[in-house]
Amino acid sequence: MTDNGRILIGKVSGCFGVKGWLKVFSYSNPRENITSYGTWIVNDIVYKSVESKKNGKLIVAKLKGIDDKDLALTMIGQKIEIEKEQLHELDNDQYYWHDLVGLEVTNKQGVNFGTIKSLLETGAHDVVIINGDRERIVPYIMHQTIIDVNLEKNSMLVDWHEDD
């Protein structure tokens, strides 16, 4: 989540053609999920998405009011945000990463590891990076290393030895 309470979902990485299409780098998982949001906020301006799609390995988007390459060029490097209310509803045991950052992490033996600093996608499985008396990296595997997540209590219970 950004300082203004919005969710960062990507950034404009370039232009695509001469009619104002934008190349988009998506932080969504899967990456093409960024195309499901009909309204984006870029540089504090709200844009309606006219069209967005996956084009080979690229994600490209056409935003209302961005009709030529010159305007598209001014947007390169800009962050793409949405309002938190735009996020899709998740199933049980699924969480947005921004909801997990800051949770207090305790293991099954009652040892407080500290708070979640960030999460990282590694390929094999995601990991939780915890700051406390030292930095710990715990695999994010629900019902194995991650026993319980309680957003109301701002806590996560893990099955992880304190010396690991």
pLDDT at 2: 61
pLDDT reading at 115 higher than 80:
yes
- Residues 6 or more apart whose CB falls under 8 angstroms from that of 145 comprise 138, 139, 158, 159, 160
Write down the architecture of domain 97-158 according to CATH. Roll (2.30)
pLDDT at 1: 61
Mean pLDDT, residues 81-88: 90
Mean pLDDT, residues 92-104: 90
Mean pLDDT, residues 87-105: 89
Average pLDDT, rounded, for the chain: 92
Domain-wise residue ranges, the chain: 7-86, 97-158
Q: Are 139 and 150 in contact (CB under 8 A)?
A: no
Just give the CATH number of 7-86.
2.40.30.60
pLDDT at 151: 94
Q: What is the pLDDT of residues 133-152, one digit of tens each?
A: 999 999 999 999 999 999 99
